[in-house]
Structure formats: structure tokens, C-alpha cells
Structure 1
Amino acid sequence: MIVVTTPTGQIGGRLVRRLLDRGGAVRVIARDASRLHGSVREQVEIVEGRHDDPAVLDKALSGADALFWLVPPNPSAPSAEQHYLAFARAGAAAVARHRVGHVVAVSSAGHGWPAPAGVLSAAFAMDAELAASGAAYRALSLPFYMENLLGQLDAIVERGVFRLTCAGDRPLALIATRDIAGAAADLLTDLSWSGQESLPVFGPDRLTPDAMAEVIGEELGRPVAYSRMAMDDFAAMLRSGGAGDRAVKERTEMFAAQDAGIYEADWSIATIAATDFRTWCREVLKPAARAEAS
């Protein structure tokens, strides 16, 4: 039995379908089971609730062979570290109680980074907690998600621009969520692995944000440019959206680490995923942009 958290999210939803296609027995932990597609609800066992709740975890992990773990985002959490650790401590204790043999979790690339990295450091702390459960553990260690650009669709469609804090002429490691789900499915359907490791998974490109803008423009058939955002402007934007001082610090530390090359060392050891940026733009961004414009 494979237990999947966040089964209605971009990664968890894709993972559930891949596992079912491979004939796996799947149990999901869902805060709102009504959000599961009807065909999925018919094929999985469902435990409703949050996966930081020990009672929910006890019900879900009974008899489980493996667990897929993803901490759901909570922009209103006063501290990313507290948020990640609250989930991780509940999860690690339940994994140990039920002797779950294998755990695969969504984490960040850059393990071993020597400076504070905000939200990424919170993910590294999560890994340490889950590894301490004693289960065989793989931290899928990931760079910048291509899907993050979907949050800037309006600016891309209406103004022909997207903005990040990193230098436009420095390569940015990327990954598509479909490939995260694929890597997780491969691990969860072949439990011959052991030990505890981080597993970087990167897309095949080494594109700069400037080059990304060129690819986006070619696929959309209109000029698109990249504009670097100053970190102070990014912090001000977060504050204007209601973020507190701790949340602003953690987010700016995360992007500062990204700008400083936190992903660089993992590029040489990463598993290279299938989806290149142009394919993702053609198959995901372009249809979304059409819908946005209509």
C-alpha cells in the first residue's frame, strides 16, 4: 500500500494517476475528498484530514509500505520553518510507529548550503526529521518549478514580461511538476532502494531568464522580456500582501540563496528529467495563456 499526501495538488494529483496506471494500491490523505476526480475516488482508499494530525496519520499509515510526503504551502504561516517542522515531526513519529519502510518527500536542491536559505532551509530541516524516522528515505531535491511562471500569466499575456530576483544572464535550474511526479512514481513502485539520500532532479536545460523569455516569446508568438526585480522591491511586495517580518525574511533569504547559486553544485549530480522548457511552454504555458487571454 502506497500512501500519498496532497493528492489534489499539481504533483500529488499527477502522482496518484501514475501509480494507479501502474496498478498500485493507493491510499490518499485529503483535506477535502470532494476535490478528487470521480475516477480517482473510485480507485483509491481515502483518509480525510490533514497530514500533520497524528490521528489521521495513524489511520492512513496502518499497513502502509511507502509514503509520499509533501508539505502543503501556507503563505499565512508566521514561519516556514515552524510550518515544515510541525508536519515533519508528526510524519516522522507516525512513520516510526507504523514501521513504514520507505518515504519519498518533495524537498529542495542545495543540501549543504552554508548560509540561511529561508524556505529552502525549512525543507532541509524537514528532511532531517523524516530521515530520523528510520525509514529508507529519498528527498527529491528540486530547483525552480516551471509552473511558478503560471502565477505571472497576466503580466506575460498583457505586458509581455515576467519578473524574478535572479540575474537575467545566469542559468537557472528548472523542473516541471510532471517530472517530479514521475520521479516519485518510479521510487514508490520499486522499493528495492535503501538508505537515506537526497536525489536532485533537474530539467535538461541550462537557460538563463533572458533565454527563457525568448523561448516563451517564440512559443506565444509575441515579444516577451525578462525584468529583474530588486530584492527590496520583492520584500515590499510581500509586505503589501500582508506578509509579516519573519515570512518576508524567509522568502527573501530563499531567493537570495537562489540568486547566489544554491542549486549549482547539484547540477553535476542531478537525475535529468525529460521535460525541457520549450516543451513545457508549448504544452502548459501556451494553453494557459490562451485561456487567460480569452
Structure 2
Amino acid sequence: MTIVVTTPTGHVGSRVVRLLIQAGVRPRVLVRDPERLAAATRGHLDVRRGDLADAAFVREATAGARTVFWVDPTPHTAEDPIGTTERTAAALADAAGAGDVARIVFLSSVGAEKRHGMGHIDGLARVEQLFDATGADVLHLRCGYFFTNLLLSLDELRQGVLTTAADPDGPMAWVDPRDIGEVVAARLLNEEWKGRVVQAVHGPEDLTFTRVAEILTGALGRPVRLRPVTDDDVRSQLGSAGLPPKAVEGIVGMLAGTRGLAREQPRDSTTTTPTPLSAWAYAQLRPLLAE
């Protein structure tokens, strides 16, 4: 059984790699810079060096694999994030359509089910459709808001501020990427599921940004004040930072699209993962802010 893992050094992928190794699997990892792989795991991996945006590399590196874990590598700052996301996944879709890959586990997002009006998430929706058309067994993991997105706010958090354009009192699914990695690994190792499957990954509880600021205040041992901003504020800030217009609208579209987003799947034992934000923030954010 050959399992391919893309973005193996990311928050989710690194956890998937570790769990597969512990399960006795030698995963094939696709990575641009092998030096970023954890030294303790390199000897247990089949490492293929290349860029996921290189269609020829993806086709060659996935040939003969039974299962592929696909994570879109497109940064939100890309000049055409939605189009790039779709084009990058096309090589894997071609491989699956040709029968070279039998199963795909795809890291998607809540909101992809809407298919449009979700900014960069619209690109993930297009990838879902690409993979669905291949005839392979496909699992779409529609994940909530990553705890690790807070790492982008370290400088502000040091000043006791958390800025957001989201509805301060709108509940959202928040999830630890390590918990997502555990769901991914379990699905990669499970040979029983077939066809097209959608599974949400919601984290342990829905949180508003108001509640997040309260949780961070307790976990970090310092007051954190929420600073709401508008979509136009975000546009102005991102434009001033030099981001291309489509990148700006891709980010703003995600913020706007997730406001009031109705849950597609219920919160139950399948979609709920265990790690609370308070525990993650204490273990991960607090040491970084103390440096």
C-alpha cells in the first residue's frame, strides 16, 4: 500500500506523516525542500523532491500510488489564487482519471459546499469537482478555522490585540490542525470507505471571536482585546502591503462568505475533534509570546 502525502512539513501534513510511520507505513512525501522534514523521520520516508505546481512532477511522483493526501499549496497571496488552486490540482485529477491513483483524501474547507461566493475557498470547491469527476474514491474533509491562523497575529497579540473582520459574535468551527492530521491518517489507513465521501472536521466547539479573545486572555496570562474591522479596512491594508487585486478579493471573500455560514453537517462523534483552543494556546502560543 503506497500512500502519498503532500505538504508533509505543514501543520496537518507533519502530523499525518508521523502517524503513518507509527502505523508501519513508509509514506511517499512530495516536498520542495527535503531539509525542512524532521530529521527523526527522514529515514522512514520515500522522499520525492519537486513543486506541486509542476504537473509533470505530480504525475510522476504519484504514479502507482493507491492513495494520495492532497493539500492545496497555493498561498492566499497568489496573483490568481482560485485559478492557481484549480490548475495545480489538475495533474492529480488526471492521474486519478487515468487509473494511476485509486483514492484521494482532500483537505477542503467548510464553505466549499456553496461552490461560489467564498473567495479563495471557491478554488477548493473547484478541486472537489475535479476529483469527483475522476471516478476514483474521494474523501473531502471540510475543516473549520485552524487554531494556527492565530500565529499570523503574533505581533498584535503581543500588544494585547486580536483583529478580525469576522462577525465578533458569529459562531464558527475552530479546530487544531493536529486533530485534522489524526482524522486524515485514520482515513488514509482505512480501506473500507468507497465512492464520494464528505466529512466535516469541526473541532470541539463553535467559537465566536469574542469568546476567542476571552479564551486567549486566560490561556496567555495577558489581556487580549478584540478589534473588529471592516472588509474595506482589510482591502486597504492588503492593497497597501502590495497584494494583487485577486489575492485581496480572495481573502476578503473568505471573510465575507463565512459570516453566518450554516453548518452543512451536524456536530457529532464523526465531525467533532477533541483539542480545545485553551489547551492549544497555552502550549503553542504562550511560549512564542514569552520569547
* Same fold, TM-score > 0.5, yes or no: yes
What residue number does 1:112 align with? 113
* 1:146–1:174 CA contact under 8 A, matched in 2: yes
Give the counterpart letter for 1:146 in structure 2.
Answer: F
What residue number does 2:122 align with? 121
Task: Write the deviation string for residues 221-250 of structure 1: whole angstroms up to 9, x where unpaired.
Answer: 121111111111001111011112222222
* 2:216–2:278 CA contact under 8 A, matched in 1: yes
Task: Write the deviation string for residues 13-72 of structure 1: whole angstroms up to 9, x where unpaired.
Answer: 111111101111210111111211222221111111112323322332232110000011
User: Structure 1 or 2: larger helix share?
Assistant: 1
* 1:24–1:189 CA contact under 8 A, matched in 2: no
Task: Write the deviation string for residues 193-220 of structure 1: whole angstroms up to 9, x where unpaired.
Answer: 0011221101112221111111111111
Give the counterpart letter for 1:11 in structure 2.
Answer: V
Unaligned runs of 5+ in 2: none
* 2:110–2:143 CA contact under 8 A, matched in 1: yes
Task: Write the deviation string for residues 118-141 of structure 1: whole angstroms up to 9, x where unpaired.
Answer: 111111111111222221111110
Q: Distance in 1 between matches of 2:222 and 2:38?
A: 35
Q: What does 1:175-186 correspond to in 2, within 5 Å?
A: 175-186=175-186
C-alpha displacement of 1:99: 3.0
What residue number does 1:160 align with? 160
C-alpha displacement of 1:115: 4.9
Q: Distance in 2 between matches of 1:154 and 1:230?
A: 20
What residue number does 2:146 align with? 145
How has the CA–CA distance of structure 1 residues 222 and 238 changed in structure 2, closer, same or farther, with 3 Å as cutoff?
Answer: same
Q: Distance in 2 between matches of 1:24 and 1:164?
A: 41
* 2:200–2:271 CA contact under 8 A, matched in 1: yes
Give the counterpart letter for 1:94 in structure 2.
Answer: A
SS at match of 1:39: coil
What residue number does 1:228 align with? 228
Q: Distance in 1 between matches of 2:43 and 2:239?
A: 43
> How many residues of Structure 1 are paired with residues of Structure 2 in the alignment?
289
How has the CA–CA distance of structure 1 residues 10 and 112 changed in structure 2, closer, same or farther, with 3 Å as cutoff?
Answer: closer
Asked whether 1:6 is paired with 2:7, we answer yes
What residue number does 1:74 align with? 75
Unaligned runs of 5+ in 1: none
Q: Distance in 1 between matches of 2:214 and 2:144?
A: 21
What residue number does 1:213 align with? 213
What residue number does 1:265 align with? 264
Q: Distance in 2 between matches of 1:96 and 1:53?
A: 18
How has the CA–CA distance of structure 1 residues 121 and 58 changed in structure 2, closer, same or farther, with 3 Å as cutoff?
Answer: closer
Q: Distance in 1 between matches of 2:39 and 2:222?
A: 39
C-alpha displacement of 1:74: 2.4
What TM-score comes out, normalization by structure 1 length?
0.93
What residue number does 2:277 align with? 277
* 2:74–2:85 CA contact under 8 A, matched in 1: no
How has the CA–CA distance of structure 1 residues 68 and 114 changed in structure 2, closer, same or farther, with 3 Å as cutoff?
Answer: closer
Percent of matched pairs sharing the same residue: 31
Q: Distance in 2 between matches of 1:127 and 1:114?
A: 9
* 2:55–2:88 CA contact under 8 A, matched in 1: no
Report which stretch shifted further, 44-53 or 182-191: 44-53
